[in-house]
Amino acid sequence: MADARTWLERIRGLDLPAKVRVMNVCGGHERSITMAGLRGALPPQVELIPGPGCPVCVCPEEDIYAAIQLARNGVIVAAFGDMLRVPCNAPKAEPRSLEQAKAAGGDVRPVSSPEEVIAIARSNKDRQVVFFAAGFETTTAPVAGLVAQGLPENLTVLLSGRLTWPAVALLLDSGTPGFDALVAPGHVSTVMGPEEWEFVTKKHGIPAAVAGFNTESLLAAFYSVLRQVIEEKPFLDNCYSAVAQPGGNPTARAVLEQVMDVTDANWRGIGVIPGSGFSLKPELSGLDARVRFSIDPDEDRKRAGEMPPGCDCARVVLGKIYPNQCILYGKACTPRKPIGPCKVSDEGACRIWWASGVREQASVGAASAANPSLKNAS
């Protein structure tokens, strides 16, 4: 593969239209793009839009609330680290996050892998343990593998697994997707297969390319989709072919199909997206924390299922606004005191932009102020 400088020269040599909007669908992509300063390096006609690539950001608020209540009632709750600080809309005087529940005496344990949860359950045989597992396909596949191997009797799973592509389909089916080309996620394509994204080109006529996470792979994908836009010949290009193979990971896909069903699922602040969620198969309901603990959404709770007041994270996730166009960005909402989930996760666009040094707010519609690719380009 050519080096980054060569790809940039090729991109700058293209006869681009006045504006091309390219959406990425991976928090890892957004982090690489932002930290490498690619927005400022690309021609000013190219607008890079962060899309629905943050599973923590769309994890249902009611699931977070349920996990907090379990921790408050003597259950050991294990969760991936970035879930601990995600706030929910709890009543006053109650913990708003798992981190706050832990500070109030709840037994909340951050983990970095499903195997750690097994160890916790086996070393606490006299207590109930719940694995709060939120994530996209790359995270859900190892959880499925864990379930397939069999769980200790005291361990259940509170699953908030989501599929990535239905959110993109939602945008495309709306008729106003807000982008002209798509860079598809590399890790998801590694698990599920790059062909999962062919609907973007075949059904909707939108150029698409699967990319890896280094600068060279991303620039190769940008060059590919920009050429497709110019030539009006959309196809799915795989710029991560060394890792994302046709058919994906057969073992991971098989274990997902073995223990999980695909269901309609709620995305926080967005609503129910058809066929976008994973759930344990009915015959495995005994391993489902919702069943064991009779968890039902508390619909009477104020703002149940919603983003916190003023938080525009849902529109950021859908690429409708840039992170610094949220009225809370950098004011009431900072990484140290996050109000919305996009400021918590390392895959959240708001946190990524803040970490890159973007501090100023921008009004909606002020693209040159909001988008570093326009503000910094020469």
Are 121 and 151 within 8 A, CB to CB? Answer: yes
Q: Classify residue 230 as exposed, middle or buried by CB count within 10 Å of its CB (0-12, 13-18, 19+).
A: middle
Whole-angstrom distance, CA of residue 338 vs CA of residue 86: 8
Are 255 and 145 within 8 A, CB to CB? Answer: yes
369 pLDDT more than 60: no
**Which has the higher per-residue pLDDT, 300 or 150?**
150
Strand 46-50, strand 76-80: pairing: unpaired
pLDDT in tens, 262-312: 999 999 999 999 999 999 999 999 999 999 999 987 666 778 888 999 999
Residue extents of the structural domains in the chain: 1-309, 313-375
pLDDT of residue 378: 27
**Which has the higher per-residue pLDDT, 300 or 122?**
122
Whole-angstrom distance, CA of residue 4 vs CA of residue 42: 12
Task: Give the side-chain half-sphere CA count within 13 A for 235.
Answer: 7
Q: What percent of the chain shows pLDDT beyond 70?
A: 96
| Helix runs in 123-249, H state only | 137-149, 165-173, 186-192, 198-202, 215-231
pLDDT, the chain, mean: 94
pLDDT of residue 22: 98
Q: How many residues does the chain have?
A: 378
Strand 260-267, strand 271-280: pairing: antiparallel
pLDDT in tens, 190-228: 999 999 999 999 999 999 999 999 999 999 999 999 999
| For residues 78-94, average pLDDT | 93
**Could you please report the per-residue DSSP string of 44-82?**
TTEEEEE-S--HHHHS-HHHHHHHHHHHHTT-EEEEEGG
pLDDT in tens, 165-198: 999 999 999 999 999 999 999 999 999 999 999 9
The token pair that represents 161 in the structure block:
């697994």
The verdict on domain 1-309 having CATH code 3.20.20.140 is no
DSSP reduced 3-state for 339: coil
User: Predicted confidence band at 376 (pLDDT cuts at 50, 70, 90)?
Assistant: very low
Evaluate the CA torsion angle 153, 154, 160, 165 in order and state its sign: negative
Global pTM? 0.93
| For residues 110-126, average pLDDT | 97
Q: Residue 196's CB: how many other CB atoms inside 10 A?
A: 20
The token pair that represents 92 in the structure block:
């006053």
pLDDT in tens, 293-306: 999 876 667 788 88
Backbone angles phi and psi of 266, in degrees to 5:
-85, 135
Whole-angstrom distance, CA of residue 119 vs CA of residue 242: 34
pLDDT of residue 215: 97
252 pLDDT more than 90: yes
pLDDT of residue 91: 87
132 pLDDT more than 90: yes
Whole-angstrom distance, CA of residue 38 vs CA of residue 369: 16
Whole-angstrom distance, CA of residue 116 vs CA of residue 99: 19
